[in-house]
Amino acid sequence: MAAPMSWRRLVYSVYSPAIAGVFTRISDRLFRARDRRGGSSVLLLAPLLAETDPAPHRVSRPTGSAGAQRTEGLCSHFRWMAEHVPAFQVPGSHVHILTSPDQFYQAMKARIKTAQRRVVMASLYLGTGQLEQELVRKVAFTQAYCMEEALQRSEDNSQSPDLKVSVLLDYTRGSRGKINSRTMLLPLLQRFTSQMRVSLYHTPDLRGLLRLLVPQRFNETIGVQHIKVYLFDDSIIISGANLSDSYFTNRQDRYVLLENCREVADFFCDLVEAVGDVSLQLQPDDSVTMLEGMVHPYKGNRQDFSAVARKRIMEVVNSAHIRQRLLNQSEDSEDEGMSEAEEDTWVFPLVQMKPLGIRVDEQVTQRLLTDAGSESTVFLTSGYFNLTRAYMRLVLKAGASYRILTASPEVNGFFGAKGVAGAIPAAYTHIARQFYKQVCQGGQQERVHLHEYHRPQWTFHAKGLWYYLQGQDRPCLTLIGSPNFGYRSVHRDLEAQIAIVTENEELQSQLQEEQEMLYRRSTEVSTSTFELPDRHVKLWVKLVTPLIKNFF
């Protein structure tokens, strides 16, 4: 039974993040020791022509793990996740799957307008089109200007405005061109300086000569802030979609809205603020500065920056982890409070920041793929078919059935691009062909299926997975967020997603409908697919494919 709300408030009030500092300092020492043994944790220009994934992380399989493939007690079935990350128990009725770009856009607009305390937005970048302007600030001939309207309302209604807005973007992508994400936000920052914060994360791997030589169009290939979190008071949208007009109109992604889930919202608010603290701070005059005491990402020492950033971010993760374990233990022992039927869903936040030495998402994902039993089915999707070698080995050697959905060339976001970028769809075709060849050579065509998404005038950017246990006709687990399961997501960028484990039948049905909706627009790949004239891959594209795998 769940604990009374008074117990929740008690734990939140007396728990000190300092407790987590002990664990953070221990892990920091291990991290630094590893760097001393192996030298720099990142070689900026390597690997250019070869992928060097480590072997899959070996994990034990205790009784009741996902490998047991039992259908009863789903929460205990995946309880091993709580050993590694915070576990938030929420009512499944508060979780809503959004299925279209317009739903995503309208949900954000409505909640920004009514926000009372906080709006937190983390994305790769903010676009500069009409829809983005309507989301942010008032411009000529525009009636809807959600963020500015909310800030103005808060300022008018209080001598000390309550609403605070925090925006986290990537520095390189957000600074590209004369009109960019920064220029979009500057008017708000200048007008509401005390209420507004804009943080621009800069990867520590883009520095020195490399920073001078890489053209602006390609500097984001070294590493970016890729987390997509949109938070409004105690509600939050986790997605893989950016804040750009195509993601609001005709670029298919995935989106989950957690309504009135304060503990989850608090965690992601703290996480975004922690990343913001180690980022460059945008000033009203368009300059950028670092917070006092923070190491500069590309002017300071590389290892010092990573150590400081890792400590700051892991304080959030460890603090929440310990706090939630205390809460969950109290709920197991209490006889009063919220019924199990109300809190029937678990949310596990998974963070991946390999440049900073944080590999939580990678390890949990590998465990899920490793433990998937022979009678279970995994539907896995990525807008860019570029599984790491570790993930690919697990899929090819696992017992579960896999149906993998990726973009067909014409719905790839790089389709029709100029220069090297225009070769990216063909490179992914080459990668898919190599993978399918391995499937056929292993005689696994009946177990591993590859699908391509088709939709005229649309592009495809959805990522994540749906996990069906043995004998179940609806998924009980999903991964949803920013990671693509590729080299960049694991090794270069800052990523975050959530694992949702639910016994709520309505939520399971929503997940099933979402999965079926996406796969309904797909065709299954066969050997003949790669023999079509438009699937011919030029030799030079094949030669640069290893480079594309590691940087795009």
Looking at 77, 109, 226, 549, which residue is catalytic? Answer: 226
235 CB-contact burial (10 Å; exposed 0-12 / middle 13-18 / buried 19+): buried
Nearest CA-CA partner of 42 in 207, 262, 274: 207
Say whether 228 is catalytic.
yes
CA atoms within 13 A on the CB side of 243: 33
Angle at 318 between CA 11 and CA 7, to 5 degrees: 10
Is 310:31 a contact under the CB 8 Å cutoff? yes
39/48 Cα distance (integer angstroms) = 19
Looking at 170, 205, 233, 270, which residue is catalytic? Answer: 233
Other beta carbons less than 10 A from residue 302's beta carbon: 20
Residue 537 identity: V
Say whether 491 is catalytic.
no
Is 290:280 a contact under the CB 8 Å cutoff? yes
Is 547:49 a contact under the CB 8 Å cutoff? yes
Is 92:507 a contact under the CB 8 Å cutoff? yes
Is 500:347 a contact under the CB 8 Å cutoff? yes
Looking at 164, 228, 354, 449, which residue is catalytic? Answer: 228
SS3 81: helix
The pair of three-digit structure tokens given for residue 225, joined into one six-digit string = 């802030």
Helix axes of 539-551 and 424-441: crossing angle, nearest 10 degrees = 90
111/448 Cα distance (integer angstroms) = 41
DSSP code for 232 = E
Distance from chain centroid for Cα 484: 8
Other beta carbons less than 10 A from residue 527's beta carbon: 11
SS3 531: helix
Angle at 139 between CA 134 and CA 140, to 5 degrees: 125
Say whether 233 is catalytic.
yes
Known catalytic residues are 226, 228, 233
